[in-house]
Amino acid sequence: MAYSDFFNFEIIKTATDSNARAGLFTTPHGQIETPIFMPVGTNSSVKMLTNDQILATGAQIILANSYHMYLRAGTKRVKSAGGLHGWMNFHKPILTDSGGFQVFSLAKLRKITQDGVYFQDPKNGSKHFISPEISMEIQEDLGADIIMAFDECAPYPCDYKQARSALDKTKKWLERCFEAHKNYSQALFPIVQGAFFDDLRKESAEFVSKFDAAGYAIGGVSVGEPTDIKNHITEITAPLLPFNKPRYLMGVGTPIDLINGIKYGVDMFDCVLPTRNARHGTFFTYQGNKIIKNKQFEDDFTPLDEKCNCYACRNHTKAYIRHLYKTQEATAATLLSIHNIHFLINLAKDLRNSIINGNFHEYSQELLKGFES
């Protein structure tokens, strides 16, 4: 048995003037048209939205966070409910991250060793240990279609010695992840690390490519670095990964990020930004980000974006949503979340169509002018 018994990635069309490509990724719970933006459901729920609302945005796949599910709810309880698909009653593809990024972001509350990571729950002080093997067990219990290797994410900024150490652990831990994980109905994605050093990134990309995985991820970006550095790392790393497998850029998800990432050859994106921004009153438009609480929208009876056909834009005006936000009605965050998620999913869909139609460069440049305004 192999991953190819459950997963398949077909490249439909490639752009002639960049590394952009349109693909079709088949998983046990359905097909995913790539490039794709994936909404994040940290605690097995995309914040503020029901499953019906998630599906109405056009979402083809969502994420859950194994670290948070391990600490709250408990992965054995989720397993008893039929894994995340049964627990959530959500029957499209699901991806879980390994929890590594959350553990390493705890800083003073964790200790990294060669065996794994000891850490304290910041909410109640309880002590825990996660190793590559335990991470695989947690994610197997959760039952997602795509699971991530346990890795060490070096911070930004960091020196070469620190980045080297993190990469060495990541490489050893990846071998242990593959040794521990034998369920081929769950695709284990290796993660490229190496911080912001070109030679380490290339070394990591070459190393993960030796594993016969169903897909590969680029981690350790969008951790506070300038945009030009993030773009550089993505541009040099993505083409080094196997051409015939999906490439996932972790934790990245602004409209401009999607355009640049797709240009460099990335197929999958995720980010908490659409829902987080929504809760703070910010929404995407084709003329850049806007803030709903601004007085300019007090008597604006037009949709959030004239080109958008999400539920919020079809049914409500900026003036109404601004009123909800100013009066602290939770529905405002729901409507803005629906819009922001739909906006990114639809943007990826339109960029996919431009690749197929052979005008990706022209279309993406036109979009960038609006977003950068």
Taking the C-alpha atoms of residue 332 and residue 111, their distance in angstroms, rounded to an integer, is 40
Stretch (H or E) spanning 37: strand 36-39
Q: Would residue 82 be called left, alpha or beta, if left means φ above 0 and alpha means ψ between -120 and 50 degrees?
A: left
Mean pLDDT, rounded, for 204-223: 97
The 8-class DSSP code of residue 217 comes to: E
How confident is the model at residue 103, as a pLDDT? 67
Query: Does 97 qualify as catalytic in the annotation?
Result: yes
Mean pLDDT, rounded, for 10-14: 98
How many CA within 13 A on the CB side of residue 287?
6
Q: For residue 107, name the pLDDT band (cuts at 50, 70, 90).
A: low
Tens digits of per-residue pLDDT, 56-96?
A: 999 999 999 999 999 999 999 999 999 999 999 999 999 99
Domains of the chain: 3-272 (3.20.20.105)
Query: Does 270 qualify as catalytic in the annotation?
Result: yes
Q: For residue 122, name the pLDDT band (cuts at 50, 70, 90).
A: confident
Q: What is the dihedral of CA 344, 345, 346, 350, to 10 degrees?
A: 100
How confident is the model at residue 121, as a pLDDT? 87
Backbone angles phi, psi at 34, to 5 degrees: -110, 150
Both tokens assigned to 92 = 């499209």
Tens digits of per-residue pLDDT, 242-265?
A: 999 999 999 999 999 999 999 999
Using CB atoms within 10 Å of the CB of residue 28, give its burial: 0 to 12 exposed, 13 to 18 middle, 19+ buried.
middle
CB atoms under 10 Å from CB of 15, counted, come to 21
Amino acid at 302: T
On the question of pLDDT at 108 being above 80, the answer is no
Q: For residue 15, name the pLDDT band (cuts at 50, 70, 90).
A: very high
What lies within 8 Å, CB to CB, of 120 at 6+ separation is: 106, 109, 110, 126, 127, 128
Tens digits of per-residue pLDDT, 190-209?
A: 999 999 999 999 999 999 99
Q: For residue 295, name the pLDDT band (cuts at 50, 70, 90).
A: very high
Catalytic residue among 97, 151, 267, 305: 97
Rounded to the nearest integer, the mean pLDDT of the chain is 96
- Least confident among 17-21, 83-87, 120-124, 172-176: 120-124
Percent pLDDT > 90 in the chain is: 93
Tens digits of per-residue pLDDT, 301-332?
A: 999 999 999 999 999 999 999 999 999 999 99
Amino acid at 125: G
Catalytic residue among 151, 257, 270, 305: 270
On the question of pLDDT at 288 being above 90, the answer is yes
Q: For residue 104, name the pLDDT band (cuts at 50, 70, 90).
A: low
CB atoms under 10 Å from CB of 224, counted, come to 10
